[in-house]
Structure 1
Amino acid sequence: MSAEKPRLIRSVRLLDAAERRILSEFSAPAAPAHPLNTAELIELAHSFQAQALLVTHHTPLKGDDVAALPDCVKLVATVSVGLDHLDVAALNARGIAVSNTPGVLTDCNADLTMMLIIAASRRAAEYYNIMKKGWGHSLEMDEMLGHRVSGKTLGIIGMGRIGQAVAQRARGFSMNVLYHNRRQLDPSQEEGATYYASLEEMLPKCNILSLHLPGSSNGQPIITARTLSLLPRGSILVNAARGSLVNETALIDALRSGQLAGAGLDVYQNEPNPDPRILALPNVFMTPHTGSATIETRTAMCMLALDNAAAIAAGTPLPSPVTA
């Protein structure tokens, strides 16, 4: 008689390839018709007696939520790199392992970052609006001019996997790359990028600044009125990391005053309802938190989460464990 399949629930319907794998390898309820909230996930975990929970940032597990999980749960596998929605220490304290999906979304997030850099620099949102209104008149020589990306100096805050991938792409545009990080990388990883231990020393040299770090543990933004004032006037800010990294009031003021020529944003403090003042600004190119949103990457993320679920059931090491 075959062993019982590992018991698993997911908070959202996954991509087709992952759903087929669940049907083949796991015992699971039908895919939810809508993304489960935390209370619904916990209730289902109790009723189905799941060993593994697959979640996204839509379903946070913190504080009392962690305490409410049944003892049968041995793994929370988030289909994301970010962990802001999970209390990893509390989960680990209950003997529940945590996994995420690093690596597989690096290239797509870096690709999106380059799109934001180019779109913000070349006024893509404004050009698009002109075309949607029918265009109607030829632009003058000095009208609606953007900024060239090639040859500019790019500052990167956070030189992990994604930051390094962005730097690699920026070199294709002959950009000079600077970076600020908790530690200096090995020269083989820097590939010519210049390290600044002091953010304040790096910012005045940056034509474009791109953020690639997790949200701060204390919730304080790294981009404030002060840090924005240190950038050269007419710079570009790009954020495809976390909305909590940016003081949005300071960002709006800088965009209105011309301290920033433009911004490219994929993340916001209040998702999915960004500050209306940002939405109203003409010089912001915006995407709806879609850094990993390709078929290839989302499928790989789902599969890695399922790899972790299979490993916890088999008693083998997790492919991508997270510890507090």
Structure 2
Amino acid sequence: MPAEIETPKKRRLVVARRVPAAVAERAARDYDALIADHDLDVEEAIAAVIAHRADAILIGHKVGLTAAHMWRLPDHLKIIANPSAGFDHMDVAACKARGIVVTNAPDGLTECTADLAVLLILAACRRAGPNAEVMRTGWRRSFGMPDNLGKRVSGSILGIAGMGRIGRAVARRARGFGMTIHYTDIARLPAEVEEGAEFHASLAEMLPNVDILSLHMPGGNGTVMTAEMFALMRPGSVFVNAARGSLVDEDALIAALSSGHLSGAGLDVYRNEPDFDLRLRDMPNIFLTPHTASATVETRDRMGFDALDNIDAVLAGRPALNPI
């Protein structure tokens, strides 16, 4: 009888967070996959990697790997794949020193995050929160000409802090509203990428020149928007954050909104999630969403697929597509 051909064993993967059905199906098809039914924390994730003898792990923000965890990661783990752009929840340098490839997914979130940032701009300027509340409570009182006034978006000057992929996508959308674009970043962009936007060498230099500020900076570098920075903004200006909650001193933001120095704000991210500061909820001049910038079917699928593409490459002996 001819010798039986042995089927190659699938590489082992831990999916340490809940993922869309299409992502889970691909992981189960292509790998010997342990797919979590909840978002694992760091202890659960390490235990799963060891028990499953995993070659790779797809993690979530709850898996906050620090240098202290490195010695507990087994030698058979080759790659840690983040399905999002951010990676400030983990010690990347310590992982790399341990010989483990770390990747992210910087491209898939761009368009939907930019869409959400524009939604926040419009909602904060046009008092979407208070107006929605008026309708929810039955609206039985007419508004006169001086009542319930918002801030005009078209023709405003938009300041973008962080002119990377998402910042540039927001700028493209804002130009459709006739907005003038100012920006700040670690370096000036080439003229063809700026598309007429005005560069400022620092955030402090830019703030007095804009009507609306939208943050698109990475986290992990401390608080950027302090009381001093809010004070530099124009009276009656609007603040928007769809980047990272850690960038903002929320006490200072609340003070600026309470005093009227800021006319409004739109937030998708907070210092403590999901247990955000409820004082923000109770402010009449703020519009809030629950960290939902990437929450579309298309984007969440893309995020998961990008993470799996990186895992495919590394476990096949090829360079990662999105190494950190």
TM interval, short-chain normalised? over 0.9
Match among 224, 227, 247 for residue 226 of structure 2:
224
Q: Any conservation in 2 of the 1:6–1:310 contact (CA below 8 Å)?
A: no
In the alignment, which residue of structure 2 is the partner of 1:179? 183
Q: CA deviation at 1:67?
A: 2.4
The equivalences for 1:1-324 within 5 A come to: 1-29=6-34, 31-217=35-221, 219=222, 221-322=223-324
- Secondary structure of the residue aligned to 2:205 is helix
Separation in structure 1 between the aligned mates of residue 220 and residue 232 of structure 2, nearest angstrom: 21
Q: Any conservation in 1 of the 2:88–2:220 contact (CA below 8 Å)?
A: no
Separation in structure 2 between the aligned mates of residue 15 and residue 258 of structure 1, nearest angstrom: 42
Q: Any conservation in 1 of the 2:40–2:60 contact (CA below 8 Å)?
A: no
Separation in structure 2 between the aligned mates of residue 271 and residue 193 of structure 1, nearest angstrom: 33
Q: Any idea what the Cα deviations from partners look like across 1:100-147, whole Å, max 9, x if unmatched?
A: 001111000000000000000000000011111111111111111111
Separation in structure 2 between the aligned mates of residue 13 and residue 28 of structure 1, nearest angstrom: 13
Q: Any idea what the Cα deviations from partners look like across 1:73-94, whole Å, max 9, x if unmatched?
A: 1100011100111111000000
Separation in structure 1 between the aligned mates of residue 203 and residue 275 of structure 2, nearest angstrom: 30
Separation in structure 1 between the aligned mates of residue 273 and residue 178 of structure 2, nearest angstrom: 34
Q: Unmatched 5+ residue regions in structure 1?
A: none
Higher deviation after alignment, 192-201 or 117-126: 192-201
Q: Any conservation in 2 of the 1:57–1:80 contact (CA below 8 Å)?
A: no
Task: List 4+ stretches of structure 1 deviating above 2 A.
Answer: 198-201
Q: CA deviation at 1:69?
A: 1.2
- Secondary structure of the residue aligned to 1:316 is coil
Kindly provide the amino acid, as one letter, of the partner of residue 57 in structure 2. Answer: L
Kindly provide the amino acid, as one letter, of the partner of residue 163 in structure 1. Answer: G
Separation in structure 2 between the aligned mates of residue 10 and residue 277 of structure 1, nearest angstrom: 36
Separation in structure 2 between the aligned mates of residue 204 and residue 153 of structure 1, nearest angstrom: 11
- Secondary structure of the residue aligned to 2:33 is coil
Aligned residues: 319
Q: CA deviation at 1:216?
A: 4.0
Separation in structure 2 between the aligned mates of residue 60 and residue 222 of structure 1, nearest angstrom: 22
Kindly provide the amino acid, as one letter, of the partner of residue 181 in structure 2. Answer: V
Separation in structure 2 between the aligned mates of residue 257 and residue 229 of structure 1, nearest angstrom: 11
Q: Any conservation in 2 of the 1:153–1:208 contact (CA below 8 Å)?
A: yes
Q: CA deviation at 1:2?
A: 2.8
Q: Unmatched 5+ residue regions in structure 2?
A: 1-5
Kindly provide the amino acid, as one letter, of the partner of residue 142 in structure 1. Answer: P
Q: Any conservation in 2 of the 1:214–1:242 contact (CA below 8 Å)?
A: yes
| Structure 1 residues 282 and 193: alpha-carbon distance in aligned structure 2, compared to 1, 3 A threshold | same
Higher deviation after alignment, 136-145 or 179-188: 136-145
Q: Any idea what the Cα deviations from partners look like across 1:32-80, whole Å, max 9, x if unmatched?
A: 2221111111111101010111011122111222322111111000111
Q: Any conservation in 2 of the 1:311–1:318 contact (CA below 8 Å)?
A: yes
In the alignment, which residue of structure 1 is the partner of 2:3? none
Q: CA deviation at 1:198?
A: 2.8
Separation in structure 2 between the aligned mates of residue 216 and residue 97 of structure 1, nearest angstrom: 20
Q: Any conservation in 2 of the 1:180–1:196 contact (CA below 8 Å)?
A: yes
